[in-house]
Amino acid sequence: MNSNVTPFRNVKHASMLWAAPDRAEEIAALHAKLFDPPWDAAAIRSLLEHPAATSLIAVAGSQKKSVIAFVIGQLAGDEAEILSIGVSPDWQRVGLATGLLEGLTRAARRGDAKRIFLEVAEDNASGLALYRKLGFIEVGRRKRYYERPGSAPVDALTLVLHLEPPAEAS
């Protein structure tokens, strides 16, 4: 575990922030721990600099806060898309992904999105459980989309979350 990051794994020790392009290197380093093939810092910086970017990070640590989770999304018209989400293995299963997805959902609603799309590997049981818990439903499938080194490709499931308009202030 990174010595800068608190070992308590309590979501109360994490802060959620908008993901700025200057955090691209840290996000890329975490992405590389979680995904094969990983996205490099230049690709992540380009996504974060895009005018439609809606991305968040979770940070923890004492002095220099380290990125421990991220969600990278974009808004386009009345739709939003989650391009990637990841949580450091040391911080999984404490609610960070849920918090990031809820934050991105609030931002999408404020941006007048009516739905959020994402793709997930059909063998990603924990991801599917999380998305379904939050209300995502399957609307499509891409056969053999995810390549797996040394094994057969895996289908990607396209999921959507239909957003209700924000409640009117009384």
Q: pLDDT-based confidence at 32, cuts 50/70/90?
A: very high
Q: Does residue 169 fall inside a structural domain?
A: no
Domain tally for the chain? 1
Q: pLDDT-based confidence at 34, cuts 50/70/90?
A: very high
- The helix (H) or strand (E) run that includes residue 32 is helix 24-34
Q: Does residue 158 fall inside a structural domain?
A: yes
Q: Does residue 167 fall inside a structural domain?
A: no
Has residue 170 got a pLDDT over 80? no
Q: Does residue 38 fall inside a structural domain?
A: yes
Q: Which amino acid is at 22?
A: D
Q: Does residue 6 fall inside a structural domain?
A: no
Q: Does residue 73 fall inside a structural domain?
A: yes
Q: Does residue 4 fall inside a structural domain?
A: no
Q: Residue 43 belongs to a domain with what CATH number?
A: 3.40.630.30
Can 168 be counted among the known catalytic residues?
no
Pairing relationship of beta strands 79-87 and 66-76 according to DSSP bridges: antiparallel
pLDDT for the residue 4: 44
pLDDT one-digit tens code per residue, 107-166: 999 999 999 999 999 999 999 999 999 999 999 999 999 988 889 999 999 999 999 865
Predicted TM-score of the model (pTM): 0.88
Residue 68, domain extent: 11-162
The single residue of 79, 102, 119, 138 carrying the catalytic annotation is: 119
Can 119 be counted among the known catalytic residues?
yes
Q: Does residue 43 fall inside a structural domain?
A: yes
Q: In sequence order, what are the residues at sequence separation of 6 or more whose Cβ sits closer than 8 angstroms to the Cβ of residue 131? A: 118, 120, 159, 161
Angle at 146 between CA 142 and CA 150, to 5 degrees: 140
Q: Are 154 and 144 in contact (CB under 8 A)?
A: yes
